């Protein structure tokens, strides 16, 4: 039997990338050999999701995969981002990685950008959740045991009171008309605490909520044992 192509999964710490990992595991067509995450170098947090690096490390341990971190300067231009990602992916290609999977759902321009960037270094892009109805998908995640907390809300699209709330049926039922149930247009971002892709839940509790750079952020910290 031919070896399955080895890929990395773009890991945001949130629900879509976690569920993409779950789907890839069920399909068994590709071997996810590691996670790839961008962090703000200045703060040591996942870009946009604002999840602490220690929590990111705990997630990688829970899914049993090595974590490849790309640290971004602040501010970070598009050119700088592309150069840093290309460098990281070229190193991965030298280790036998042939592509990258993403949890993207339907934004065509974002998909085209990812495909172009990867093609330029001879890699393929994979989108295991692409085209799924997001209302159905969101409830499938919850029914499948995924647990997540909203860590970032864009107040221009969603009431900031949604930040820090569990991503659950009540959350979905409370969303206003026009808000995407998976937050695909940037309405909100999440951090996953548990799910079928984790060997054990991560004991996190809600910390301070702050408003910064036009967004509302909820900090998550480890529960004291």
Which residues make beta-bridge pairs with 99?
7, 124
Residue 72: burial class (beta carbons within 10 Å; 0-12, 13-18, 19+):
middle
pLDDT of residue 74 exceeding 90: no
**Residue spans of beta strands (DSSP E) within the chain:** 6-10, 31-40, 45-46, 67-72, 99-101, 124-126, 147-153, 188-194, 204-212, 215-222
Closest CA to 35 of 57, 11, 59: 11
Q: Taking the domains of the chain in order of start, what are their residue ranges?
A: 6-126, 137-222
Specify the range with the lowest mean pLDDT, choosing from 42-56, 115-129, 198-212. 42-56
Closest of 39, 4, 12 to residue 151, by C-alpha: 12
pLDDT band at 1 (very low <50, low <70, confident <90, very high): low
- Distance CA(6)–CA(126), nearest Å, equals 12
pLDDT at 115 over 90: yes
In the chain, what is the straight-line distance between the N-terminal and C-terminal CA atoms, in Å?
A: 46
Q: What is the pLDDT of residue 166?
A: 98
Average pLDDT over every residue of 78-102: 93
Which pair of tokens denotes residue 96?
A: 């036998």
CATH code reported for the domain at 6-126:
3.40.50.620
Q: Two tokens at 195? A: 């799910």
pLDDT at 137: 98
Give pLDDT tens digits for 58-73.
999 999 999 999 999 9
1-17 burial by CB neighbour count: b if 16+ within 10 A, else e?
Answer: eeeeebbbbbbbbbbbb
Host H or E run for residue 93: helix 78-94
pTM score, whole prediction? 0.95
145-152: average pLDDT: 98
pLDDT band of residue 186 (cuts 50, 70, 90) is very high
* Residue 155 reports pLDDT greater than 90: yes
How confident is the model at residue 224, as a pLDDT? Answer: 73
Contact predicate 187/180, CB 8 Å: yes
- Report d(CA 72, CA 22) in Å as an integer: 27
CATH number of this structure's domain 137-222 = 3.90.1490
**What is the chain's Cα-based Rg?**
17
Average pLDDT, the chain: 95
Residue 2 pLDDT exceeds 80: no
């Amino acid at each position: 039997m031919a070896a399955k192509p080895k890929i990395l999964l773009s890991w945001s710490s949130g629900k879509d990338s976690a569920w993409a990992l779950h789907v890839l595991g069920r399909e068994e067509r590709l071997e996810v050999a590691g996670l790839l995450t961008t962090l703000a170098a200045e703060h040591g947090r996942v870009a946009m999701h604002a999840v602490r690096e220690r929590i990111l490390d705990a997630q990688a341990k829970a899914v049993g995969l090595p974590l490849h971190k790309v640290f971004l300067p602040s501010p970070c231009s598009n050119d700088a981002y592309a150069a840093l990602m290309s460098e990281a992916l070229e190193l991965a290609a030298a280790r036998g990685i042939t592509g990258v999977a993403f949890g993207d759902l339907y934004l065509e321009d974002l998909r085209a950008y990812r495909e172009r960037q990867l093609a330029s270094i001879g890699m393929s892009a994979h989108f295991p959740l692409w085209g799924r109805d997001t209302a159905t998908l969101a409830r499938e995640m919850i029914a499948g045991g995924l647990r997540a907390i909203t860590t970032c809300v864009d107040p221009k699209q969603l009431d900031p009171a949604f930040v820090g709330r569990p991503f659950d049926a009540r959350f979905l039922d409370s969303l206003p008309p026009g808000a995407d149930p998976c937050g695909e247009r940037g309405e909100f971002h999440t951090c996953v605490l548990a799910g079928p892709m984790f060997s054990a839940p991560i004991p996190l509790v809600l910390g301070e909520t702050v408003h910064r750079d036009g967004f509302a952020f909820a900090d998550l910290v480890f529960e004291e044992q």
